Amino acid sequence: MYKVNEVFETIQGEGSFTGAPAIFIRLQGCPVGCSWCDTKHTWEIKPELKQSLGDIVIKTAETEHWAAVTPADLLQLFVAKGYQAKHVVITGGEPCMFDLNPLCEALHNAGYSTQIETSGTFDIKAPAQTWVTVSPKVNMAGGYKVLQSALDRANEIKHPVAMQKHIDELLQLLQHTDTAAKLIYLQPISQQQRATELAIAMCKQHNWRLSVQVHKYIGIS
């Protein structure tokens, strides 16, 4: 059973799958405590806020409500909703609090590709063919460390930046990581001009890539 905060179909706005139609599964629960988090409603798992999956998918606002569902429940929902996307993004919250092998394997068997978006602070339990996006969260309030195993497993590392110290943190993280087969993205925090200018300059300097959260610029979920 997975604790699901919301399920919706949209366009992926970040990283290497930018522009691709995608079904997002947002899981409930995250102890990392990022100060700029834009999904703080997913942090706590409150038993009294448990609902049915049917109630979750018709939410019209961000809430802390969640549903306990199986992979089969989600696949049935995709059909019922008429979703056409074949790429599924599992996010949160912190999705790697859960063993994602059963969910990803069920999705693969049904013809979907999968992607996980994680802070890198929990062991990643997912099949080899799942695309893993690690957005490393360093020195956050929850006190969790970014795991070297998560950096090693990542297909792309997408680092949020606002100031030079965030670049320094990323360079420190990458010291012991083989990046030859990985994509490295910088993502300006909250679309700040200063952060964007810094990210562009550092992408040029280090031959990294820029992720600008396209969905926020065009006003979609």
The pLDDT assigned to 191 comes to: 73
Say whether 39 counts as a known binding-site residue. Answer: yes
Identify whether the C-beta of residue 132 lies closer than 8 Å to the C-beta of residue 149. Answer: no
> Does residue 179 form part of some domain?
no
- So what's the pLDDT on residue 198? 96
- Output the pTM of the full model: 0.94
Q: Return the pLDDT at 189.
A: 85
91 annotated to bind ligand: yes
Domain-embedded: residue 141: yes
131 belongs to an annotated ligand binding site: no
Residue 135, marked binder = yes
Where b means 16+ CB within 10 Å and e means fewer, 193-220 reads eebbebbeebbeeeebbebbbeeeeeee
**Do the annotations mark residue 203 as ligand-binding?**
no
CB 87 within 8 Å of CB 108: no
Length of the chain: 221
Q: Is there a domain that residue 89 lies in?
A: yes
pLDDT the model gives residue 192? 79
- Annotated binding-site residue? 26: yes
Give the domain CATH number at 40: 3.20.20.70
Residues of the chain with pLDDT under 50: none
Q: Is 104 annotated as a binding residue?
A: no
34 in a known ligand binding site: yes
Q: Given this model, what pLDDT does residue 116 score? A: 98
The pLDDT tens digits for 10-62 are 999 999 999 999 999 999 999 999 888 889 999 999 999 999 999 999 988 99
Q: Binding site annotation covers 31? A: no
**Residue 96, annotated as binding a ligand:** no
- Domain of 27 in residue numbering reads as 2-159
The answer to whether 133 is a known ligand-binding residue is: no
Task: Examine residue 102 and state whether it is found in any structural domain, yes or no.
Answer: yes
79 domain residue, yes or no: yes
Residue 144 lies in a domain: yes
**Dihedral sign from CA coordinates of 211, 212, 216, 220:** negative
For residue 13, say whether it is annotated as part of any ligand binding site: yes
How many structural domains are present in the chain? 1
Residue 172 lies in a domain: no
pLDDT value of position 218: 60
93 is in an annotated binding site: yes
Rounded to whole angstroms, how far apart are CA atoms 184 and 181?
10
